[in-house]
Amino acid sequence: MTVELYDVSKKYGSIAALDGVTLTFEVGKIYGVLGTNGSGKSTLLKLIAGLVKPDQGEVTVDGVPVSRRSASHVSYLTELDFFYPAFTAGQYIDFHASQFTDFNRDKAIEMLAFMKLDVRKKVRTMSKGNRGRLKLVLALSREAPVVLLDEPFSGLDVMVRDSIVRSLLSYIDFGRQMVIMATHEIEEIDKILDEVILIKDGEIISKENVEGLRESSGKSVIGWLKGHHS
């Protein structure tokens, strides 16, 4: 399973969100798509999810051009805080289980406990951080080969981020899944990334293997990023 973008461009009005992007993503890796707000990170994920169409170029999942039907292969966590406020966490699990055949209810219940979320609690009474945890539970409980996480740690308390990031590793099946994570908060995820992609003004500035980066230059992802911003 691969995700490929070939010469992909996307405009919103006169603004180029992505400009001539060519990338390949493979199963078994965690990718970090890094950049400031407005750099094109979210548009990249939406194109892979089939939520928007490219103006130019092609996006494929396992060789098939992306469409709304791609949802069966893609689990997508939006940066938006969008919920039905009257639902409880347990009802959200029931709802997702009814919508996605690859939703693993046992995994979801286990993750709710790990995230210290009460299945009976209504979304409207949850803090922003707990709603963020619930979004992660729902996205990671699907066994789709492509997992897209857009700003997954937004609103999460800094003290719990590290343990949640480490837990990601145990909830991903690296034999058949890839994770593409768009974020500008990289301190906690530095250690779990396999590849990093730096995007600026809709263009790919650099793509690096994290292990190779450490071995060749002795730099962490943060150090590498600072070099690009200096």
Domains of the chain: 2-229 (3.40.50.300)
- Is beta strand 15-26 parallel, antiparallel or unpaired with respect to 2-12? antiparallel
pLDDT at 11: 95
* Mean pLDDT, rounded, for 67-94: 87
Assess whether pLDDT exceeds 70 at residue 162: yes
Query: pLDDT-based confidence at 79, cuts 50/70/90?
Result: confident
Instruction: Find residue 182's DSSP bridge partners.
Output: 33, 150
* Mean pLDDT, rounded, for 210-229: 73
Predicted structure pTM score: 0.93
Cα–Cα distance measured from residue 155 to residue 168, given in angstroms and rounded to the nearest whole number: 17
Instruction: Determine contact, residues 143/102, Cβ cutoff 8 Å.
Output: yes
Output Rg (C-alpha) for the chain, integer angstroms.
Answer: 17
Which of 44-48, 192-196, 202-206 shows the highest mean pLDDT? 44-48
Query: pLDDT-based confidence at 84, cuts 50/70/90?
Result: confident
Assess whether pLDDT exceeds 70 at residue 38: yes
Neighbours of 209 (CB within 10 A): 14
For the chain, report the end-to-end CA distance as a whole number of angstroms: 37
pLDDT at 229: 59
Phi, psi of 9 (to 5 degrees): -130, 145
Assess whether pLDDT exceeds 80 at residue 59: yes
From residue 37, give the alpha-carbon distance in Å to each of 49, 182, 184, 222. 19, 10, 8, 17
Among 40-44, 78-82, 198-202, 215-219, the minimum mean pLDDT is found in 215-219
* Mean pLDDT, rounded, for 105-111: 93
- Is beta strand 203-209 parallel, antiparallel or unpaired with respect to 195-200? antiparallel
Mean pLDDT taken over the chain = 88
Cα–Cα distance measured from residue 41 to residue 10, given in angstroms and rounded to the nearest whole number: 12
pLDDT over 90, % of the chain: 60
